[in-house]
Amino acid sequence: MQLAYFHVAADVPQGAEPDAAVVIDVLRATTTIAWALNNGAEAVETFADLDQLRQSAAQWPESSRLMLGERGGQRIEGFDLGNSPVAVVPEQVAGKRLFMSTTNGTRSLQRVRGVQRLFTLALPNRRAVADHLLMDPPEQLWIVGSGWEGAYSLEDSLAAGALADLLLNAAADEACVVNDELTAALALWQQWKHDPEACLRQASHGQRLIGLGDHDADFRCCAELDRLSVVPVQVKPGVLCAS
Amino acid sequence: MQLAYFHVAADVPQGAEPDAAVVIDVLRATTTIAWALNNGAEAVETFADLDQLRQSAAQWPESSRLMLGERGGQRIEGFDLGNSPVAVVPEQVAGKRLFMSTTNGTRSLQRVRGVQRLFTLALPNRRAVADHLLMDPPEQLWIVGSGWEGAYSLEDSLAAGALADLLLNAAADEACVVNDELTAALALWQQWKHDPEACLRQASHGQRLIGLGDHDADFRCCAELDRLSVVPVQVKPGVLCAS
C-alpha cells in the first residue's frame, strides 16, 4: 500500500489513477458528511455551484430532501441547514437525501471522482475508514486535502497524518509513504495527536470560524477522534452513502 | 514581524509585497550559494535557462568567472563545476563571479526579485540570516521554498521551520506566524531538529540524490546547522553577494 497525500485538488497528478482515494475536509464538509450518514441520511450529494444544487434538489421529493449550505458563516436563504456537523441530527436527516454546498471539498471530490474506491474522511471516522481500507488494502492510496481557496490547510494535513499513522502501524511492511507531503503530515500528527482541537483552532480556517463566533460545539465535534464507525463511500460521482 | 511561508514560487500571492523575503533551496542551491560566498566568491548569479547563463558568463573575463550546473546529477559539458556545496572551495571560487544553473531555486528567486530586502538561506547560515533580520526586523517576512518541479519539498519546509523557530524565540511578542504552512513547518522542525540530516535523506529529493550515489559529503554539508556567518543578499535582480 503506497500512501501519498496531496494538499489540494490542484496538486493531484494528472494521468495515472490509484485504486483508492480518501478526500478530507475537516472544517467542516467531511465531518458533516460523516455525522449525517451516521445519523441515517440516505445519501449526501455535494455541489460547488448553488444553482446546480437547487436544480438537483428540485427533482427530489420535498419531504425526503434537505439543502445544506452557508456563505460567510450564514445559512443560505431558502436552505434548510448550514454546514455544521452538529446540526445534522437524526430528527433532521434520517432517511433523507442531503444536497450540500461546499467549495473546497467539492473541488477535491471532483478531482478524484473517477477513482474506483473513493471515501471521505474526518477525524471522527478516521479509524473506521482505516479499518475499511485494511480489510482490502489498495496498492495505491491517494489522500486528498481540500485546503482553503486552493491553499494548504493545517487541519486537513493533520487528518491525513492521523490516517497514515494508523495505516502504517497496522500494515507495517505492507505500507509506505511515497511523498514529502505525507511525511510532513505525520510530523504534524505527532505534534498534535493528544490535542487535535488545539490544532484546528490554530489553523487559519479555525481562526476564521472563531472570528464568526459561536463555533465551540463545531470544534469539539470536528476534533473528536474515532467516535464514529461510518465509512462514507462514493456510490456514483458526487454521491456518498454509508458503506 | 509577520512570518509567512510559501512552499513554492507558485504559492506566493500576487499583488502586495512584503518588505523582506528569504528564499530556500536546501538541496542544494542555497547551501552552495552560502558556501561559495563564504569562501570568497565575488557574487553568485542564478539562471534557470542555460543559454542565458552562457551569454551572461561570456561577458565576464574568463579568469574571474565560473559556470556551475548539473543535469541528472552530471556536470554540464563545458561547465567548471557541478552544483555541489562541497565543490565551491576557496581555491576555486575566491574573487570570482559564479554563474549558477538552478531550476527550482531560480523560479522562487525570480518570483520575489522585486522585494526590497531579499536573502537566501540554507541550514548552515540559518542563524546568520536570522540575526541579520533581527537587527532591523521587517514588518512582513515571506519565506519561500523552492520545492521540486513545482511540488512541496520536505527539506525546504524543515529550514523554513528552523528559521521561524529562531525568529519567534528571539523576537517573542514582536513576531507571529500568519499562515498554516509555517505552523506545519515548525512542527517539522520540532520533529527533526536534533537530526536534520535524517530529514534531508528521507525527503524525496534526498532519495533521488542517494539513488545517484556518492552524495554523503553533500548531505553532511547541507544539514550542518549554523556553521556559517555569511548572509547572501540580492544586490540586483538575480545577483547575490555576501552582506
3-state SS string over B101-148?
ECCHHHHHHHHCCCCCEEEEECHHHHHHHHHHHHHCCCCEEEEECCCE
Give this complex's ipTM: 0.94
> Are residues B152 and A187, on separate chains, in Cβ contact within 8 Å?
no
- Contacting residues of A for B191, CB less than 8 Å apart: 187, 190-191
Do A226 and A127 touch, CB atoms closer than 8 A?
A: yes
- Contacting residues of A for B153, CB less than 8 Å apart: 180
- Write down the pLDDT at residue B173: 79
- Kindly report, residue by residue over B11-67, the tens digit of the pLDDT: 999 888 999 999 999 999 999 999 999 999 999 999 989 999 999 999 999 999 999
Per-residue CA distances from A52 to A46, A49, A59, A240, B93 (Å)? 10, 5, 11, 17, 63
Ranking A136-145, A172-181, B51-60 by mean pLDDT, the lowest is A172-181
Q: Would the pLDDT of B98 be above 90?
A: yes
Give the gap in angstroms from C-alpha A93 to the nearest C-alpha of chain B: 34
Confidence of residue B172 (pLDDT cuts 50, 70, 90): confident
Nearest-CB residue to A154 (from B184, B203, B204): B184
Domain boundaries, chain B: 2-234
Compute the average pLDDT of residues B119-129: 98
The CA distance from B164 to A109, in Å, is 34
- Kindly report, residue by residue over A149-166, the tens digit of the pLDDT: 889 999 999 999 999 999
- Write down the pLDDT at residue B171: 82
The CA distance from B8 to B12, in Å, is 7
- Write down the pLDDT at residue A138: 97
Find cell 494535513 and name the residue.
A157
Overall size of chain A counted in residues: 243
Compute the average pLDDT of residues A106-126: 96
Nearest-CB residue to A152 (from B154, B181, B192): B181
Q: Which residues contact A170 (CB under 8 A, 6 or more apart)?
A: A130, A134
The CA distance from A217 to B207, in Å, is 44
Residue of B nearest to A161 (CA): B184
Q: Would the pLDDT of B109 be above 80?
A: yes
Per-residue CA distances from B216 to B82, B212, B219 (Å)? 15, 11, 5
Do B241 and B42 touch, CB atoms closer than 8 A?
A: yes
Could you tell me which of A167, A113, A170, A169 has the C-alpha nearest to residue A140? A167
> Are residues B204 and A153, on separate chains, in Cβ contact within 8 Å?
no
> Are residues B191 and A192, on separate chains, in Cβ contact within 8 Å?
no
- Kindly report, residue by residue over A215-233, the tens digit of the pLDDT: 999 999 999 999 999 999 9
Compute the average pLDDT of residues B4-15: 95
Nearest-CB residue to A180 (from B152, B181, B192): B152
> Are residues A188 and B187, on separate chains, in Cβ contact within 8 Å?
yes
Chain B residues with CB within 8 Å of chain A CB: 7, 11, 151-154, 157, 179-181, 183-184, 187-188, 190-192, 202-204
> Are residues A180 and B11, on separate chains, in Cβ contact within 8 Å?
no
Q: Which residues contact B240 (CB under 8 A, 6 or more apart)?
A: B33, B37, B43, B44, B45, B46, B120, B232, B233, B234
Q: Percent of chain A having pLDDT more than 70?
A: 100
- Write down the pLDDT at residue B192: 97
- What does R_g of chain A's alpha carbons equal in angstroms? 17
Q: Would the pLDDT of B237 be above 80?
A: yes
CATH code, residues B2-234: 3.90.1560.10
Confidence of residue A75 (pLDDT cuts 50, 70, 90): confident
The CA distance from B92 to B83, in Å, is 13
**Three cell numbers written together for A79:** 436552505
> Are residues B180 and A152, on separate chains, in Cβ contact within 8 Å?
yes
Mutate to test the interface with B, among A180, A188, A208 (most CBs of B within 10 A): A180
B153 versus A172: the higher-pLDDT residue is: B153
Please classify residue A142 by burial: count the beta carbons closer than 10 Å to its beta carbon, then call 0-12 exposed, 13-18 middle and 19+ buried.
buried
- Contacting residues of B for A190, CB less than 8 Å apart: 187, 191
**Three cell numbers written together for B68:** 556551475
Nearest-CB residue to B187 (from A180, A191, A203): A191
Do A45 and A238 touch, CB atoms closer than 8 A?
A: yes
Residue A203 CA to chain centroid, in angstroms?
16
**Three cell numbers written together for B79:** 561547465
Q: Would the pLDDT of A172 be above 80?
A: no
- Contacting residues of A for B145, CB less than 8 Å apart: none
Per-residue CA distances from B136 to B19, B114, B133, B139, B243 (Å)? 11, 19, 6, 10, 14
